[in-house]
Amino acid sequence: MGAQQAEAKQVIPHPLITTTLPAFIGGIFLH
């Protein structure tokens, strides 16, 4: 149960991190 709760908590901020991290890394690579 604890592992499932931890996964659910990671799923909430995941979309933001998955969209911001690649854009940030991509910006550095493009520069």
Mind listing the pLDDT tens digit for each residue in 1-31?
556 665 656 555 667 677 888 888 888 787 6
Which pLDDT score is estimated for 12? 58
- Which two three-digit tokens encode residue 25? 């890394």
Which pLDDT score is estimated for 24? 84
Which pLDDT score is estimated for 31? 66
Which pLDDT score is estimated for 11? 58
- Which two three-digit tokens encode residue 3? 């592992």
Q: Alpha carbon of 5 to those of 12, 16, 22, 26, 27: distances in Å?
A: 11, 19, 26, 31, 33
Instruction: Look up tokens 């149960």; give the residue.
Output: 1
